[in-house]
Structures are given as structure tokens and as C-alpha cells.
């Protein structure tokens, strides 16, 4: 099987997990995430090895091979060749720009996010349809696609009655950012491809993931995955744990009533394994809401302060102006039963797990940047602020503009049609058998 975005926070542990289970794994990544760190002056709190070091160490320790192929999903020729060569039974798609704040920096970052995510996903759909139409596509979506509606959030679909008629339709979505908008477009394109081409897909609307230690990352430091704490790439829980470990107040954005779904990274591994073992039918676009618990920011802060309190350490909480445009107190009740029905055994967030996160952080506090820890770099209304400008490399601005133009241009070039036959009719493309 192919894991796209295999150098990422979840992609790398997933590649190891599947390899350990005996699958032949092809890891694909263009290393863009590392370049975006370089551009914005951010880095993982936990040092991470290169992709070449990772796959070599994995083979050394386990005897198993993960094949690494470096290319961009927006390069359709490279992607098409990879799908045709390996003919996977399943493709797990993590290869997208995943940060809402990054997508809100300015026009170029919004364009880059949507071009990278939407066009890469479209390229993948066409390659699967051409070469492995029975392949199971597992796509990582986001609970942020839904927004925070004042009704219960169903798992992907909702039955609506209107003017005496009824239909089952995709659940309405009010996304939080240009990034989440790209995820909505992905979901619609996948749904369309399943209806029209008969593909089979599972769209995993994932909540916020925490933790960076799995059974496999424990084997060697070279196998560790990222831990991001800054406001571009990190999560509120990661930020709180770093602040607690360094004796700083926990910074809650706004009133703190913002509520989301959360899950342990080990449960992400389990969810995708269950999804693989229970594929959808031909033509089915299945949606799972992938999280195990719901917390508000205030509840997360209380979990961290209580964990510290049990060790005799008092931690304060401060509220900062919210850089995002969102409801800070709202109703939130999202269904998430389908993965539980398949057998998911969740790891729940509690004091013990919070302690383990803080202990991990404490080993790397020398790598903490206090400015990036405390202050947001992007606001939804104004884009990249003085913190972003302080850390972003000035020479990267023109490079980014050129790269964005090239990305959009490369992804929209027309591939020349094959030569016409003697009768002037173009031959139909061959479709590879599964």
C-alpha cells in the first residue's frame, strides 16, 4: 500500500505501523513540511531524522523495508507512474498542507494551500481511476470542515426533510479557514468520484491529535515523529504542555469555550487499521468522524493544571485575544460511533497521559522558543503579524510567490493527447486491471 505524506506527523508513524503489520509500504513525500518550517522559522520540539535515516533505521531494527519515493502529488506524471508501478490495494492520503494559520498568512499561502491540497487530491483520484479502480482510498479529512453548527454533527451525511420530501445528503459544512475549505473541496471531489466512477473511499474527519509516541517510535530516536507547539503548526494541548513544563502560564485564546474532538496518535493508527480491514463497497464514499473525546480549551487547560497540581506545582491560566474568527462559546456535539462499532479501543486523555506529554517536553526544553510559544503569528483578519515577519525569512517571500505560480501552472498544464489514428480518431486510454 502507499502512504502519501509519509514524512509527516501522522504519516511516518503510520508507515511504520503498517510495515510492522506485514504490509508492503511505499512512503511518498516531497518534504514540503520541512521547507515550510525553514520558511517560517519554526521547528519540531522533538528532533526528527531525515527520511533517508528513518527508513534505513527501520530496516536495521526490524528487517522490514519501507520504500521511499520523493515527489509532489501536484506532479501528476510522477504520481501516475507511482500508482501504475506499485498498483496498491489501498492508498492512505495524508499529503496535504495541514495548518489553518499557515493558510491565513496572506494570499500566497491561501493559494498554495488550496492548490497543493485540492489539485493533489484530484490528481490522485484520476490515477486511481486509471490504474487501480478497486483500490481503497483512505483520505484524512478534518472535523474542522463542519465548523460548529448549533445542531448535532452526524457522520458525514444527514437526512433532510423539506417541503414534504426527504433525502440523505452530505452534512452541511461551514469551515474555519482556507485550509479547511480545501478539505471540504476534497470531500466533495471524492464523493463525486465514487458516484461517477465507482471508486471506493473512506473520508476520515479527524479531530485534533495529541502525542507523538507509538510502539514503533519508541524503538530508536531516529524513528520519532514531530512535536509542534508554535501557533502555526502546534495544537492548544501541545502548547499547554510546553508552557506547564517550562513554568509559564497557559495561554487560552479568547473565552476558551471553543470545543473540538480529540484523539491519541495511537488511536489514529488503530482507526486507519480498522478502516483498512473493513473496506467500503464499490461506489461507496464512507465518512467516519475520527475522534474519541470532546474538550473545550478551558477543559484542556484544567486537565493540564490538575496534572501539575497533583505533583505540587501550581499553573496559572491567562486569556489572550483570539487570533481566529470563531464562536468562543457554542454548542458542539459530534457523532463518532462508526469506528467504535468496528472495535476501536480508545486511549482517553487523563492526568497520566498529560504527565507523559509534559515529561517528553521536559527533555527538550532547551529547544523551546518563548516568543513562538506565547504569541500567535497569524490573525484571521490581518494575516501574518509582527511575529510572523520577525521569524519568516525575507528572501523566502519572492521564492514562495514563484513557487506558488509554478505549482498552479504545473498542476493545470494540459497533457498532449496521443497521436490520432489513420482515421483521425484518438485511441482510448488503456485501463490497468486490478
Distance in angstroms (rounded) separating the CA atoms of residues 11 and 265 = 11
Q: Give the confidence band of 428 by pLDDT, cuts at 50, 70, 90.
A: very low
Mean pLDDT (whole number) for 39-50: 97
**Environment class of residue 153 by beta-carbon count within 10 Å: exposed (0-12), middle (13-18) or buried (19+)?**
buried
- Look up the CATH architecture of domain 2-409: 3-Layer(aba) Sandwich (3.40)
Of 92-101, 308-317, 396-405, the range with the lowest mean pLDDT is 396-405
Q: What is the CA radius of gyration of the chain?
A: 22
Residue that is written with C-alpha cell 526490524 in the block: 62
Domain ranges in the chain? 2-409
172: which 3 cell numbers?
452541511
Q: What is the pLDDT of residue 408?
A: 74
Q: What is the pLDDT of residue 426?
A: 34
Of 247-256, 260-269, 425-434, the range with the lowest mean pLDDT is 425-434
Distance in angstroms (rounded) separating the CA atoms of residues 198 and 100 = 32
pLDDT at 433 over 60: no
DSSP count for the chain of H helices, then E strands: 16, 16
Mean pLDDT of the chain: 93
pLDDT at 420 over 60: no
Residue-wise pLDDT tens digits, 321-374 = 999 999 999 999 999 999 999 999 999 999 999 999 999 999 999 999 999 999
Q: Give the confidence band of 278 by pLDDT, cuts at 50, 70, 90.
A: very high
Residue that is written with C-alpha cell 496518535 in the block: 265
Q: What is the pTM of this model?
A: 0.92
Residue-wise pLDDT tens digits, 108-148 = 999 999 999 999 999 999 999 999 999 999 999 999 999 99
Residue-wise pLDDT tens digits, 391-411 = 998 776 667 667 777 777 766
pLDDT at 424 over 50: no
Q: Give the confidence band of 10 by pLDDT, cuts at 50, 70, 90.
A: very high
Residue-wise pLDDT tens digits, 224-238 = 999 999 999 999 999
Amino acid at each position: 500500500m502507499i502512504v502519501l505524506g509519509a514524512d509527516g506527523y501522522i504519516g511516518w508513524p503510520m508507515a511504520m505501523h503498517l510495515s510492522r503489520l506485514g504490509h508492503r509500504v511505499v512512503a511518498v513525500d516531497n518534504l514540503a513540511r520541512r521547507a515550510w518550517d525553514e520558511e517560517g522559522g519554526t521547528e519540531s520540539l522533538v528532533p526528527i531524522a531525515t527520511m533517508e535515516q528513518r527508513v534505513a533505521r527501520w530496516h536495521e531494527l526490524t528487517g522490514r523495508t519501507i520504500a521511499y519515493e520523493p515527489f509532489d502529488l501536484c506532479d501528476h506524471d510522477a504520481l501516475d507512474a507511482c500508482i501504475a508501478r506499485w498498483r496498491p490495494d489501498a492508498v492512505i492520503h495524508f499529503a496535504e498542507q495541514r495548518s489553518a494559520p499557515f493558510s491565513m498568512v496572506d494570499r500566497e499561502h491561501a493559494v498554495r494551500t488550496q492548490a497543493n491540497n485540492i489539485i493533489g487530491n484530484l490528481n490522485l483520484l484520476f490515477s486511481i481511476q486509471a490504474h487501480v479502480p478497486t483500490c481503497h482510498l483512505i483520505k484524512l479529512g478534518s472535523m474542522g470542515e463542519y465548523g460548529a453548527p448549533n445542531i448535532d454533527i452526524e457522520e458525514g451525511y444527514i437526512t433532510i426533510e423539506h417541503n414534504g420530501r426527504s433525502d440523505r445528503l452530505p452534512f452541511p459544512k461551514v469551515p474555519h479557514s482556507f485550509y479547511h475549505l480545501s478539505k471540504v473541496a476534497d470531500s466533495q471531489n471524492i464523493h463525486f468520484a465514487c458516484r461517477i466512477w465507482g471508486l471506493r473511499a473512506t473520508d476520515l474527519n479527524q479531530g485534533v491529535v495529541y502525542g507523538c509516541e507509538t510502539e514503533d517510535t519508541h524503538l530508536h530516536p531516529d524513528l520519532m515523529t514531530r512535536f509542534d507547539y508554535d501557533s502555526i503548526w502546534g495544537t492548544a494541548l501541545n502548547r499547554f504542555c510546553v508552557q506547564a513544563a517550562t513554568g509559564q502560564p497557559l495561554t487560552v485564546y479568547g473565552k476558551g469555550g471553543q470545543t473540538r474532538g480529540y484523539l491519541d496518535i495511537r488511536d489514529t493508527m488503530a482507526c486507519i487499521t480498522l478502516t483498512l480491514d473493513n473496506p467500503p463497497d464499490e461506489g461507496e464514499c464512507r465518512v467516519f468522524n475520527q475522534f474519541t473525546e470532546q474538550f473545550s480549551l478551558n477543559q484542556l487547560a484544567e486537565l493540564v493544571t490538575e496534572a501539575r497540581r497533583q505533583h505540587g506545582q501550581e499553573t496559572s491560566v491567562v486569556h489572550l485575544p483570539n487570533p481566529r474568527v470563531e464562536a468562543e462559546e457554542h454548542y458542539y456535539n459530534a457523532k463518532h460511533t462508526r469506528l467504535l462499532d468496528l472495535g476501536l479501543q480508545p486511549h482517553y486523555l487523563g492526568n497520566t497521559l498529560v504527565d507523559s506529554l509534559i515529561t517528553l517536553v521536559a527533555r527538550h526544553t532547551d529547544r523551546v522558543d518563548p516568543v513562538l510559544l506565547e504569541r500567535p503569528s497569524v490573525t484571521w483578519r490581518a494575516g501574518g503579524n509582527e511575529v510572523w515577519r520577525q521569524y519568516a525569512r525575507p528572501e523566502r517571500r519572492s521564492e514562495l510567490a514563484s513557487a506558488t505560480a509554478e505549482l498552479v501552472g504545473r498542476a493545470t498544464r494540459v497533457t498532449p493527447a496521443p497521436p490520432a489514428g489513420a482515421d483521425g480518431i484518438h485511441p482510448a486510454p488503456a485501463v490497468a486491471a486490478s
